[in-house]
Amino acid sequence: MIKQKRILALDDEPNMRRLLEISLKQANYQPVIAQHGQEALEILRQGGIDLVVSDMHMPVMDGLKLLTAMRNEHLEIPVIIVTAQGEIHTAVEAMKLGAADYILRPFDLSTLEIAIDRALSLSRLKLENRFLRDEVSRATASLVGQSTAMQLVHKAISQVAPEKATTLIAGETGTGKELVAHAIHQLSPRKDALFVAVNCAAIPGDMLESELFGHERGAFTGAIKERIGKFELADGGTLFLDEITEMPIGLQAKLLRALQQGVIERLGSNRSITVDIRVVAATNRDPQQAIADGKLREDLYYRLNVFRIDLPPLRARISDIPQLSHHFLQSRNLSISPAALLALQAYAWPGNVRELENILERAAIMSSGAEISIQHLPADIAGRQPAIDTVDTTPPAAIEAPLTTLPLATEALEKKMITAALLQSSGNKSKAARLLDISERSLWYKLSRYTLEEVSSAQTESP
């Protein structure tokens, strides 16, 4: 049986407490009831609470003070704030203090249930993310990779982060665009305000406008209550517009106006609201092509493209694959064999880093706790090995066998990769160096060091 979630509900009104208790029981939660923030805080300190539903105004300790106290004591439990129709601004304050969501009074049971469900699943995600964050303290450090290409990305992030400049991140799917957007926020002076992400592809076009700008009560059929949009929510922080080319073209015009003027209007209202936000947008399409295809307004593109970060596909930075692999396997305490790494580096990775992460996750399961080797990789990846092995006369066992030292293992791997790259480039050294993502000079150096010269000159006459 699934454990019932314990929800702490607090309100200074006895009737409201009673209603919350009954509603929560009906929704199959285990309610714990408190009268004000101070009492709630004492219960929270004892542990065992999964979520808090809190009234905003209470005499002893109100919702905002409770949130502040929880934050100070690192009680990271999701809080849903209940507030009145006309007081939405205090709900925004609450969100900035870390509330997971807010609901407006009067609400029905299903509204409460949806909010609870959403907050609980979000907090699970947050916990997972925190686990990643704890391992590396600085945001960009979580962006693994020291290839020349990634060094440029790191540099671009640290250059743009302190500025308010709108930033466009372009790159194939799974290259780490969202991670870069997070890093920019984390390294910016806005890091203590919210990072609000909107995936333009995931929200139906007709709902996106109200999602971004909010709406007044009665603005359209179904707008029973006022709702603040992501722009208002991100005030002071960063708004991440993911998959920007999937936004309806008409809405793009409206977005452009909002960006240019720094003001928005909720749907159904003509009151201007000033917002101070930093926009980071991302796309996995080629922006120029998207403009040509009519998916992206050219004027919006220029507004977004003030600063541009291009994330290279993984196949253009294969030298990052070992480090990325270790990064993904580290939490499982697993290692990977040099031959398996080699096979990973010979694959084209259409799904980029995300695909690598998934493949390694699968391999980790298949290896059931042992070192990951070539047989734990999917056939189409493992199958790349023989092509490389044809030039290498040493039996695969020589490289799979336990190597005594890291330098020896590294050397074996380097030799194999260099040979493979030279083969692939028909002996063209500058091409091989590019494939390996190292300078031509360092390729020359390694060739002489490993006396691989014969291999390369045997392949071709060209330089």
Residues that bind ligand ATP (CB under 6 A): 143-145, 171, 173-179, 284, 324, 327, 353-354, 357
Query: Measured from the CB atom, is 32 or 311 closer to ligand ATP?
Result: 311
Using CA atoms, how far apart are residues 22 and 87, in angstroms rounded to an integer?
A: 25
**In the complex, what is the shortest distance from the CB of residue 8 to ligand ATP, in angstroms, rounded to a whole number?**
32
Residue of closest CB approach to ligand ATP: 176
**Least distance (Å) between residue 194 CB and Mg ion:** 18
The least distance separating ligand ATP from the CB of residue 279, rounded to whole angstroms, comes to 16
Residue 104's DSSP bridge partners are 83
| Of residues 139 and 413, the one with the C-beta less far from ligand ATP | 139
Task: CB nearer to Mg ion: give 52 or 169.
Answer: 169
Read off the DSSP letter of residue 50.
-
E strands, 207-338, are 214-215, 227-228, 238-242, 263-265, 272-274, 278-283, 307-311
Say which entry of ligand ATP, Mg ion, none residue 176 contacts (CB below 5 to 8 A, set by partner kind).
ligand ATP
Per rule CB under 5 A, count of chain residues that contact Mg ion: 1
Q: Which does 287 bind (CB under 5 to 8 A by kind): Mg ion, ligand ATP, none?
A: none
> 93 or 178: whose CB is closer to Mg ion?
178
The token pair at 122 is 């979000």
**Which amino acid is present at 350?**
P
171 binds, among ligand ATP, Mg ion, none (CB under 5 to 8 A by kind): ligand ATP
Indicate which of Mg ion, ligand ATP, none lies near residue 338 (CB less than 5 to 8 Å, by partner kind). Answer: none
Q: Which does 284 bind (CB under 5 to 8 A by kind): Mg ion, ligand ATP, none?
A: ligand ATP
Q: Taking CB under 5 A as the criterion, which residues in 149-178 touch Mg ion?
A: 178
Residue 359, token pair as written in the block:
């493949």
Angstrom distance (rounded) from CA 10 to CA 40: 7
In terms of phi and psi (left: phi > 0; alpha: psi -120 to 50; beta: otherwise), the region of 427 is left
Dihedral (CA of 283, 284, 287, 289) sign: negative
Task: Determine the Cα angle at 28 with ends 1 and 40, to 5°.
Answer: 110
* Residue 277 binding: pick among ligand ATP, Mg ion, none (C-beta 5-8 Å cut-off by kind): none
β-strands 195-199, 79-84 pairing: unpaired
- Are 251 and 207 in contact by the 8 Å Cβ rule? The answer is no
Cα 162–chain centre separation: 20
CB 180 → Mg ion: shortest distance, Å?
10
174 binds, among Mg ion, ligand ATP, none (CB under 5 to 8 A by kind): ligand ATP
Smallest separation, CB 323 to Mg ion (Å): 21
Nearest residue to Mg ion, scored by beta-carbon proximity: 178
Q: How far apart are CA 243 and CA 198, in angstroms?
A: 9
- Closest among 459, 414, 454 to 437, alpha carbons compared: 414
Q: Which is nearer to ligand ATP, 87 or 178 (CB)?
A: 178
Q: For residues 174-193, which are near Mg ion according to CB under 5 A?
A: 178
CB of 297 to ligand ATP, least distance (A): 20
- Cα(19)–Cα(22) distance, rounded to whole angstroms? 5
- Residue 176 C-beta: closest distance to ligand ATP, Å: 3
Nearest Cα to 445, choosing from 427, 421, 429? 429
For Mg ion, the closer CB: 214 or 287:
287
- Alpha-carbon gap, residue 329 to 341, rounded angstroms: 12
Q: Please, which residue, 176 or 287, has the CB nearer to ligand ATP?
A: 176
At its nearest, how many Å lie between Mg ion and the CB of residue 242? 5
Contact set with Mg ion (CB under 5 A): 178
